[in-house]
Amino acid sequence: MTVDVEDYFQVSALEAVCPRSSWSSSDYRVKNNVYRILELFESHDVKATFFTLGCIAEEYPGMIREMVEAGHEIASHGWDHVRVSQQQPEEFRQDVTRTRKLLEDTSGAAVTGYRAASYSINEENLWALDILAESGYLYSSSIVPVKHDLYGMPEAPRFAFDAAGGALREIPITTVTIAGKNINCAGGGWFRLFPYAFSRWALRQVNEQENESAVFYFHPWEIDPQQPRFKNLALKSRFRHYLNLEKMQPRLERLLGDFQWARMDQVFMDADK
């Protein structure tokens, strides 16, 4: 179970109407939403991995420490949601190094995991995996083996594989194969789009038929249907961001009860697993 800790105005779908220059004057809602998630996880006895933006951790250090105190894993989501596809190697190195140091200093815990903004590692920038290993990360969850206009690497393995000469483990976002095509069944907008029955079926297929653990992800803003809404969005962006927000938390409640969940490091990196 994973949470990508970013606020509603920091997502790629809203880049056209929420430039970084406007962030400081925006209505921050991430802290309250994260505390709601922590309560939800506690009520279901679930420990999760929180892939957190450095700029959010810098703003809310107490929240980060409370995540760790509750038994959750802190991992890196980069500093301020710049996609890897928009960075040069040295920019990326500085970004992931700066973020890891801040998260470790704030949380008092080792940070070994990373997730790229908008899953933006693909066949054109696999150098990023080498840099992550060189920067002290042990795993990444940044590749989605699907075809998508913003992300995706359809030919990538569907399940965890070694990268960077064996120094890093890449743990792709979970998909289910239907009629020879990989379908994202791992959360986010897909979880809001598909009926819950499909998501439950797909995850059970991965668990029971393929004997693999699944990676699920969502964002704090997805349980916040009262968030400010931008009217000048492109139709596709509006659909992706606002679809079925009111259904997200009830579906999460069912998901947490229907499956067993744990932290990324415990499921995929523990030698005893």
Specify if 6 maps to a domain.
Answer: yes
Query: What does DSSP assign to residue 266?
Result: I
Question: Does 78 reside within a domain?
Answer: yes
Query: What phi, psi does 136 have (nearest 5°)?
Result: 100, 0
Note whether 243 and 189 are within 8 A (CB): yes
Whether 63 is covered by a domain: the verdict is: yes
Question: Is residue 189 assigned to a domain?
Answer: no
Spatial separation of the C-alpha atoms in residues 113 and 163, rounded to whole Å: 14
* DSSP-based three-state secondary structure for 248: helix
Amino acid 43 reads: S
In a domain, 205, yes or no: no
* 50 bridge partner residues: 3, 74
Q: What is the pLDDT along the chain (273 residues), one digit of tens a residue?
A: 999 999 999 998 888 898 898 998 899 999 999 999 999 999 999 999 999 999 999 999 999 999 999 999 999 999 999 999 999 999 999 999 999 999 999 999 999 999 999 999 999 999 999 999 999 999 999 999 998 777 789 999 999 999 999 999 999 999 999 999 999 999 999 999 999 999 999 999 999 999 999 999 999 999 999 999 988 888 888 888 999 999 999 999 999 999 999 999 999 997 544
User: pTM for the whole thing?
Assistant: 0.96
Structural domain includes residue 260: yes
Residue with tokens 């947490």: 256
Spatial separation of the C-alpha atoms in residues 250 and 33, rounded to whole Å: 15
Burial of 127 (0-12, 13-18, 19+ CB in 10 A): middle
| CATH classification at residue 21 | 3.20.20.370
Tell me, yes or no, whether 99 lies in a domain: yes
User: What pLDDT shows up at residue 272?
Assistant: 43
Identity at 85, one-letter amino acid code:
S
Which amino acid is residue 28, in one-letter code? Y
> Cα(62)–Cα(272) distance, rounded to whole angstroms?
32
Do residues 223 and 37 make contact, with C-beta atoms less than 8 angstroms apart? yes
Tell me if 223 is assigned to some domain. Answer: yes
- Domain limits for position 126: 2-173+215-269
CA 195 to chain centre: 21
The total number of structural domains that make up the chain: 1
